[in-house]
Structure 1
C-alpha cells in the first residue's frame, strides 16, 4: 500500500471542480424555491464528486484494496478511543446554534415570532445529511488531509482545504440569492468549520467517522434552527452566524495549538490506514 503522503490534494481539488462544473451550469437553469431546504438537485449530485474523485485516485494509486480500505473508514469509530470526544462531535454544533440564537436575541435583532423547532424532521434529515457528509469527507478527510497536514501543519492545511471547499459552495449560495457580503461571511465560517473538523479528526485517532458525524450534526442543526416566513436568522445575520463559528475555531487553535490541533502528543502518531 502506498503512503497517503504520495497522494495529490491538488489533483483531487481540480478533479472535484471539473466534475462539479457541468452540474453548476445546469443549476443556473433551476429555481431552488420550493425544493426541500431550497437545495438544488444538482447540489445533491455535486456532493458525490469528492467521493467519486477520491475513489478514482485511490484506485489508481493503491488499487482495489486501497478503495476498500478507504470505504471501511466510514465506520472507523473504534479509532475514537477517548469517548469523551463524542461530546463535541454530537453537541458542539447545537451549542453553536444556541449561542447564535442568544446573541441575536440579546442584541435585540428581529427573531421568528413563534419559537418552533421541527424535531419531527430529524429522522429524514439525519440520514440525508449523513450520506452527504460521507460523500464529502471521504474525499476531503479520507483522501486529501494527510499529505496536506504533513506538508503544512494542521491549521494551514485546514485553511488551504477550507478555501476551495468554501468556493465549491459558491454556485449554490449565489443561486439562493445571497450577495457578496453574505458570501464573504460564509467563506469565513466554512473555513472555520474545516478547522473544527480537522481538530476533531486529529483528536479521535484520525477517525473519518468522527468527521462525518460532526459534519452531519452541523447540517442537521441548520434546518432545525427557529425560523418563520419573515425571519431565518442563519440567513439574515451571517455576520453573527459565521462569526460564532470562526471565534470557536480561534479558541480551539489557541488551546490546542496550530501545528497539530492536538494536546496529547502520542495521539499525533496514530497511523492512518486510508
Structure 2
C-alpha cells in the first residue's frame, strides 16, 4: 500500500472524528477546575501542582469518551479505554529503548551541563523511595491525557495534515492548556515559554514519532509520557532544580532531539527513516 493509499484509509476511518470539537470540549471541562483553583489554591506535594490538576489531567480522556459515545456508542468508548494497554501493537521491541531511555538520557545530560556551568544542582542524587508509586500514579495521569491527544485526535489530525503539522497543532493546544496551572504555581514568563510552548510542541513531536513507529500503540505514548514526567519529578533537586534558568537547558535539549527526529524520520509521517536500507 502506498503512502497516499494509507493516508486515504486513515482519513476514512477517522472521518467521523472532530479535532476541533475535542479541543473545545477539553477546555470546557477544564475551565471550572481552573476557576476552583483560583478560589481554593491548594497544591500537591509533587511539583507544587494544583490539586485540581488531578481531575483536569483526565479531561482529554473524558472529552474523547463523550465524543466517541456520540459517534460510535459504548463500543467506541470501550475500544478507546482498551488502548491503554495495547502493548501488543509494539511488534518492533527495539522501540522500547527510546520509549524508556531517551528522555532519562536527556535528563542525565541536562544535569551534567547544569553542573558544568555552575548552576546550584545537588552533588548527590537520592531517588525517592516512593518513585515506583509515583510512576504508577503518573502513568494513569498520562493515560488520562494520551487517550485523548494520541488515542482520539492524533490520527484524524494526521489524515488532514502531515505528522509534523499535526504534532505542532496538538502541542500548541496542549501547551496552552497548561498555562493556568503554570501561572498558578508562579512560573516566570520565560519558563512558561520554554516549558509551556517549546517543550509542549517538542514532546508532542516525539510522542507522535513513537506512536507512528510502534504500530499506533497508545500504550507506547502513555509509557513515554509517564517516564518523562517521573524523571523530571525525581531529577536531582526535583523539578525546581531541573527548571533553573527557566528550564532552557533541559527543555532546549528535548527540542533539539525533536528537530533531529524530524530530520531523520521526515516531517510527512515521522516514520520513514532517512537512512533505512531500500526495501527494508
- What is the TM-score with the length of structure 2 in the denominator? 0.89
* Residues 125/61 of structure 1: CA separation in 2 closer, same or farther (3 Å cut): same
State the alpha-carbon separation in 1 of the partners of residues 267 and 188 from structure 2.
Answer: 32
Deviation at 1:190, TM superposition (A): 1.4
CA contact (8 A) 2:19 2:153 kept: yes
Deviation at 1:110, TM superposition (A): 2.4
CA contact (8 A) 2:44 2:51 kept: no
**1:233: which partner in 2?**
241
State the alpha-carbon separation in 2 of the partners of residues 142 and 188 from structure 1.
Answer: 22
Residue 252 of structure 2, aligned match among 243, 247, 251? 243
Q: Does 1:145 align with 2:138?
A: no
State the alpha-carbon separation in 1 of the partners of residues 237 and 43 from structure 2.
Answer: 16
Q: What stretches of structure 1 of length at least 5 have no aligned partner?
A: 266-274
Secondary structure in structure 2 of the residue aligned to 1:232: helix
Deviation at 1:39, TM superposition (A): 1.8
**1:87: which partner in 2?**
97
State the alpha-carbon separation in 2 of the partners of residues 97 and 5 from structure 1.
Answer: 39
* Residues 22/204 of structure 1: CA separation in 2 closer, same or farther (3 Å cut): same
Q: Does 1:170 align with 2:189?
A: no
The higher-RCO structure (CA 8 Å, 6+ apart) is: 1
**1:75: which partner in 2?**
85
CA contact (8 A) 1:50 1:136 kept: yes
**Mapping for residues 1-274 of structure 1, pairs under 5 Å:** 3-32=13-42, 35-112=45-122, 114-186=123-195, 187-227=197-237, 232-237=240-245, 238-263=247-272
Q: Deviations over 1:26-74 (max 9, x none)?
A: 1123445563331211011101111111001001001111111111111
CA contact (8 A) 1:32 1:38 kept: no
Deviation at 1:119, TM superposition (A): 4.0
CA contact (8 A) 1:96 1:245 kept: yes
* Residues 178/37 of structure 1: CA separation in 2 closer, same or farther (3 Å cut): closer
Q: What stretches of structure 2 of length at least 5 have no aligned partner?
A: 1-11, 275-280
State the alpha-carbon separation in 2 of the partners of residues 214 and 198 from structure 1.
Answer: 11
State the alpha-carbon separation in 1 of the partners of residues 44 and 18 from structure 2.
Answer: 39
State the alpha-carbon separation in 1 of the partners of residues 257 and 15 from structure 2.
Answer: 29
* Residues 182/37 of structure 1: CA separation in 2 closer, same or farther (3 Å cut): closer
Secondary structure in structure 1 of the residue aligned to 2:52: helix
The RMSD of aligned alpha carbons is: 1.7
How many corresponding residue pairs?
261
State the alpha-carbon separation in 2 of the partners of residues 34 and 50 from structure 1.
Answer: 21
State the alpha-carbon separation in 2 of the partners of residues 189 and 223 from structure 1.
Answer: 15
